[in-house]
């Protein structure tokens, strides 16, 4: 499938014949395959050449069948475009451990899981997605990554902005015309139009305005798209800066070695970064960074609309505590009839968010307590801080593990009587319960492998 004619005309006009031709030719070639490792789950991870701007990023020589890889299903790595991983480089030298970070347009979760790695157990990522089914995919990927420091919300930006001046970092990976994905996504090519570019720019302006309200004085804003045109990139930032006259200031300079091939620039106070497929081993990507000036704003939270979370103590807390490696760092709460674990440093923040926003997942779902015993949720198996000897452990060979991941029947003789943690290739995958001569596969339907 060829590139849209109007797109080609614009690229040649803006970049010149030589660079325009090089870009268009690159968009008709093969895409590189890149992943980002989970440093909290150092098991069964593919080897590859390092992505220069992210220490956890790897290029793979051959694209494997990720769906049939045990490590992928266990959340030991995330399949993510190399250019998108650059947001980690932007934040790397800024010491954001312990920060509150908003990822306003978060699905499917590549950047959210990256941010959760950077803020650590003392920090909190609020990953918002306005489209409900995409938010469900986001929640699944957050569960799989397993760090327990993310709140997934399903709200419009204007609802998120009721948490005024609340976040240390706000990232807007804005919905865009997707020109940077032409190489790997034929649908992006077929849906492209000049009218869609303008529509996207309008929507980006609305999202940026709301996101800005949530950013604390002195906080960092990261704006990004996967498109090339200046209307959705520099033009959007230029118009935004005019609307918030005097509130935007330069951030610390982000170093970007020339050999990376990234085109660095400025749009007013914004430092900008452009990834072109003919210059970098990446799909197309644009990012920009600036800070909010100190204008005297104080953090404001909306009035709670409901009480969702109920603190857990006593014997129930003792039972939950034995399932994690560092219970002294955690708090536990019940939501409806399910117990959740949260890092204590941001527990009160999570309660505030849950009382005002549409939260579809937060912390780590631990399961339900019957009598004095926890029936573990599948998400607990994927939690990086799971205490694995809290329950019997069963190791399956790869083919047996794939049967388990398909939610098929598994042979009872592999398992101890009662609840078992299912492992393979050093990875925790989920739970199964043996009752006599049969074994119940407790792997969740939403994550099961459908591919043969």
Q: Residues of 339-353 as b/e, b for ≥16 C-beta within 10 angstroms?
A: bbbbbebbbebbbeb
Neighbours of 105 (CB within 10 A): 22
Active-site residue, selected from the candidate residues 226, 339, 427, 439 = 226
Query: Could you tell me the two tokens for 80?
Result: 């993510």
- Give the three-class secondary structure for 116: helix
The three-state secondary structure class of 127 is strand
pLDDT score of 1:
62
Q: Which two tokens stand for residue 352?
A: 């505030």
CB atoms within 10 A of CB 441: 18
State the Cα–Cα distance between residues 41 and 310, nearest whole angstrom. 30
Strand-pair partners of 423: 395, 428
State the Cα angle at 429 between 423 and 433, rounded to 5°: 80
User: Hey, which residues does 367 pair with through a beta bridge?
Assistant: 339, 376
H or E segment and range at residue 320 = helix 314-321
Q: Is the preceding peptide bond at 367 cis, omega within 30 degrees of 0?
A: no
The beta strands (E) that lie in 51-190 are given as: 57-60, 77-79, 100-103, 124-128, 150-153, 167-173
Beta bridge partners of 285: 275
Lookup result for tokens 């890889």: 69
Domains of the chain: 83-292 (3.40.50.150), 391-452 (3.10.450.720)
Mark whether 226 is an active-site residue.
yes
* pLDDT computed for residue 451 by the predictor: 77
**Farthest-apart Cα atoms in the chain, separation:** 73
Rounding to the nearest 10 degrees, give the CA dihedral for residues 355, 326, 44, 280: 50
Question: Looking at beta carbons, which pairs linking 253-257 to residues 24 or more positions away fall under 8 Å?
Answer: 254/89, 254/90, 254/93, 254/289, 256/53, 256/89, 257/52
Q: Which long-range contacts (CB under 8 A, 24 or more apart) does 418-421 make?
A: 418/392, 419/375, 419/376, 419/391, 419/392, 420/391, 420/392, 420/393, 420/394, 421/381, 421/386, 421/388, 421/390, 421/391, 421/392, 421/393, 421/394
- For residue 10, give both structure tokens: 């614009």
Partners of 297 in the beta sheet?
none
**Tens digit of pLDDT at every position of the chain (452 positions):** 689 999 999 999 999 999 999 999 999 999 999 999 999 998 777 889 999 999 999 999 999 999 999 999 999 999 999 999 999 999 998 989 999 999 999 999 999 999 999 999 999 999 999 999 999 999 999 999 999 999 999 999 999 999 999 999 999 999 999 999 999 888 999 999 999 999 999 999 999 999 999 999 999 999 999 999 999 999 999 999 999 998 999 999 999 999 999 999 999 999 999 999 999 999 999 999 999 998 888 999 999 989 999 999 999 999 999 999 999 999 999 999 999 999 999 999 999 999 999 999 999 999 999 999 999 999 999 999 999 999 999 999 999 999 999 999 999 998 999 999 999 999 999 999 999 999 999 999 988 998 77
- Give the contacts of 127 (CB within 8 A, at least 6 positions apart): 103, 106, 109, 112, 138, 142, 150, 151, 152, 153
pLDDT of residue 256: 96
From first CA to last CA, the distance across the chain in angstroms is 29
């Amino acid at each position: 499938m060829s590139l849209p004619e109007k797109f080609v005309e614009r690229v040649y006009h803006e970049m010149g014949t030589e660079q325009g031709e090089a870009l268009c030719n690159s968009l008709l070639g093969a895409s590189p395959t890149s992943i980002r490792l989970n440093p909290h789950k150092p098991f069964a991870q593919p080897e590859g050449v390092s992505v220069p701007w992210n220490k956890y990023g790897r290029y793979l020589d051959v694209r494997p069948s990720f769906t049939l890889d045990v490590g992928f299903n266990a959340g030991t790595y995330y399949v993510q475009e190399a250019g998108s991983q650059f947001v980690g480089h932007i934040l790397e030298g800024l010491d954001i451990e312990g920060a509150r970070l908003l990822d306003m347009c978060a699905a499917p979760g590549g950047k959210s899981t990256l941010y959760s790695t950077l803020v650590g157990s003392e920090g909190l990522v609020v990953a918002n997605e306005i489209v409900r089914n995409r938010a469900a995919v986001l929640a699944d990927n957050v569960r799989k990554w397993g760090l327990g420091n993310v709140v997934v919300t399903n709200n419009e930006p204007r609802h998120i902005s009721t948490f005024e001046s609340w976040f240390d970092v706000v990232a807007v990976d804005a919905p865009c015309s997707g020109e940077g994905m032409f190489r790997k996504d034929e649908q992006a090519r077929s849906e492209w139009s000049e009218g869609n570019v303008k529509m996207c720019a309008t929507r980006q302006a609305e999202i940026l305005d709301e996101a800005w309200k949530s950013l604390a004085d002195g906080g960092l804003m990261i704006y990004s798209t996967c498109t090339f045109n200046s209307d959705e990139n520099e033009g959007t930032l230029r118009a935004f800066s005019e609307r918030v006259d005097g509130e935007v200031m330069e951030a610390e300079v982000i170093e970007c070695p020339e050999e990376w091939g990234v085109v660095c620039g400025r749009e007013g106070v914004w430092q900008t970064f452009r990834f072109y497929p003919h210059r970098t081993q990446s799909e197309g990507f644009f990012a920009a960074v600036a800070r909010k000036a100190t204008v005297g704003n104080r953090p404001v939270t909306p009035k709670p609309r409901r009480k969702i979370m109920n603190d857990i103590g006593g014997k129930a807390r003792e039972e939950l505590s034995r399932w994690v490696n560092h219970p002294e760092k955690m708090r536990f709460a019940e939501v409806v009839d399910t117990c959740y674990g949260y890092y204590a440093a941001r527990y009160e923040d999570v309660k505030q968010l849950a009382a005002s926003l549409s939260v579809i997942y937060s912390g780590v779902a631990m399961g339900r307590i019957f009598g004095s015993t926890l029936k573990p949720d599948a998400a607990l198996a994927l939690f990086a801080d799971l205490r694995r000897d809290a329950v019997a452990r069963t190791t399956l060979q790869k083919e047996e593990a794939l049967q388990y991941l398909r939610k098929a029947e598994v042979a009872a003789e592999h398992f101890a009587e009662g609840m078992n943690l299912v492992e393979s290739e050093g990875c925790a995958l989920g739970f199964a319960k043996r009752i006599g001569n049969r074994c119940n596969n407790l792997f969740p339907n939403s994550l099961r492998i459908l591919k043969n």
